């Protein structure tokens, strides 16, 4: 298939093995941003509190994406096309617009992290701006070459990133225990869960984009859950420990203070590039679901270049924890609507109608959109631990409104 192709995958074309699907999600999560989530939780916290937040938030977020992955195997359509069923043709465009905007920030954050690490630890005379541009151009070029190029790249990159993770793990285990006093006014466990879950749920709107190439629904669900959950449970606590040791949440400073080595720095930068495979692809799909006339390759290049340009401006790493909360507020309720529609009530879907802008799914499906907004409002009103209330509110609202309709 071509880059950013929205067309349905026929049954005979769903030949992707579960291992490749696992590698794709693992590659997306074996990255410095996952370490950064742990670092963003803050210093002066008891280790037990950090582990509890990571286990609860990572498992919930991964499970929400995983239970929706079989929709791709069942329908063979990308996420933004599947979303037209519960949200309507126009309503899904609103969801796509949210994804489109937030993914620009993700591309910028990832490039900033790669640049921070590479500029400090690699023996090349390039500053952070140059590294950020290089990371953006490489990831964009590979995505523009199509899903096969991404798959081949991940088969090479993920084992290398696993080696980098082992190096960093060994480095963390050898660090001396920090003498960090308990922080006053530290965030609650529920607030920390919101940050972790928000990061995991940031992958929500790719629930069907890659699972549509895998035939078996159970395989899709298991591959997605394990790819997201295992990597989060591995890397987030290490990010927290590295930040404690360095006294900084800057990824380059953390690895430099721990003396992780040039190889680890190079592979962390590589991991950031593979994560942007997913971000660029998602944004390009979202754009083409709103403007189908834009060629897939052009959409990929424009998205990648704009995200790269944004990475050169702003203190993205300083905004990281707050950005996670915003992402969670927008996507957790959307996940509630999708889960209610496709999993709990399992509405029948006419795939052909999803591609007809004047068909039965035209306009806005108000039960889905209103339930989504209701979940966002509840999420915003709850001061801490808003993930579960926002999710349940959207599920309940959709169930009531869709039944009345």
364-387, pLDDT tens digit by residue?
999 999 999 999 999 999 877 788
Interval 300-328: pLDDT, tens: 888 788 888 877 776 666 666 677 778 88
Tokens of 292: 């189908």
Give the up-direction half-sphere exposure of residue 113: CA atoms within 13 A in the CB hemisphere.
Answer: 32
Give the CA count within 13 Å in the CB-facing half-sphere of 163: 12
**Six token digits for residue 169:** 């793990």
| Model pTM score | 0.78
Q: How would residue 2 be classed by pLDDT, with cut points 50, 70 and 90?
A: very low
**What does the block give as tokens for 371?**
């339930």
Say how far apart CA 190 and CA 384 lie, in whole Å. 6
Model confidence at 180: pLDDT above 60: no
CA distance 234 to 144: 31
Mean pLDDT, residues 256-260: 78
Mean pLDDT over residues 153-157, rounded? 75
Q: Is the pLDDT higher at 172 or at 366?
A: 366
Q: Residue range 350-360: average pLDDT? A: 84
* C-beta atoms surrounding 396 within 10 Å: 16
Helix ranges, 176-261 (H): 189-201, 217-246, 251-257
The tens digit of pLDDT for each residue in 217-240 reads 999 999 999 999 999 999 899 888
What is the DSSP code (8-state) at residue 342?
I
Question: Residue 252 is encoded by which pair of tokens?
Answer: 């380059």
| CA distances for 344 relative to 6, 29, 31, 341, angstroms | 26, 28, 33, 6
Distances (CA, A) of 389 to 39, 225, 330, 376: 26, 22, 13, 10
**Contact indicator for 389, 194 with CB cutoff of 8 Å:** no
Residue 103, both tokens: 């993914």
Most confident among 65-79, 101-115, 163-177, 296-310 (mean pLDDT):
65-79
pLDDT tens, position by position, 21-72: 898 888 778 777 788 888 888 767 788 888 999 999 999 999 999 999 999 9
Domains, the chain, in order of start with CATH, read 11-177+184-316 (1.10.4160.10)
Give 317's DSSP letter.
G
Q: Which residues contact 1 (CB under 8 A, 6 or more apart)?
A: 7, 9, 146, 147
Higher pLDDT, 27 or 2: 27
Tokens of 403: 């039944």
237 is written with which tokens?
Answer: 């606590």
Q: Is the pLDDT of residue 272 over 80?
A: no
d(CA 279, CA 383): 29
């Amino acid at each position: 298939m071509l880059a950013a192709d929205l067309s349905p995958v026929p049954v005979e074309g769903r030949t992707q093995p579960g291992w490749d699907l696992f590698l794709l999600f693992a590659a997306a999560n074996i990255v410095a941003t996952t370490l950064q989530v742990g670092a963003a939780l803050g210093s002066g916290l008891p280790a037990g509190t950090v582990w509890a937040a990571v286990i609860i938030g990572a498992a919930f977020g991964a499970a929400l994406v995983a239970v929706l992955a079989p929709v791709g195997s069942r329908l063979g359509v990308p996420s933004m096309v599947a979303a037209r069923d519960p949200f309507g043709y126009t309503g899904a465009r609103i969801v796509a617009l949210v994804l489109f905007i937030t993914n620009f920030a993700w591309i910028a954050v990832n490039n900033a992290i790669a640049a921070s690490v590479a500029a400090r630890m690699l023996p090349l005379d390039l500053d952070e701006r140059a590294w950020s541009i290089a990371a953006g151009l490489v990831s964009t070029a590979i995505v523009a070459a199509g899903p096969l190029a991404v798959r081949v790249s991940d088969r090479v990159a993920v084992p290398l990133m696993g080696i980098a993770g082992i190096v960093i793990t060994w480095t963390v285990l050898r660090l001396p225990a920090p003498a960090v006093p308990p922080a006053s006014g530290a965030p609650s466990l529920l607030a920390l869960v919101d940050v972790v879950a928000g990061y995991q749920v940031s992958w929500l709107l790719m629930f069907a984009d890659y699972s549509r190439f895998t035939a078996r629904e159970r395989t899709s669900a298991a591959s997605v859950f394990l790819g997201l959950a295992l990597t989060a449970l591995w890397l987030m606590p290490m990010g927290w420990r590295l930040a404690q040791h360095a006294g900084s949440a800057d990824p380059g400073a953390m690895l430099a203070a721990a003396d992780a080595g040039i190889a680890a720095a190079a592979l962390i930068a590589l991991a950031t590039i593979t994560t942007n495979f997913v971000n660029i692809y998602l944004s390009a799909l979202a754009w083409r679901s709103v403007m189908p006339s834009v060629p897939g390759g052009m959409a990929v290049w424009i998205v990648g270049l704009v995200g790269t340009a944004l990475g050169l401006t702003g203190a993205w790493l300083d905004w990281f924890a707050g950005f996670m909360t915003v992402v969670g507020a927008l996507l957790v309720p959307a996940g509630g609507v999708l889960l209610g529609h496709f999993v709990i009530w399992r509405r029948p879907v006419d795939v052909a109608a999803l591609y007809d802008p004047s068909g039965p799914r035209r306009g806005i499906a108000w039960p889905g959109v209103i339930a989504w907004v209701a979940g966002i409002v509840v999420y915003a009103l709850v001061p801490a631990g808003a993930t579960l209330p926002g999710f349940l509110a959207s599920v309940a609202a959709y169930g009531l409104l869709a039944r009345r309709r």
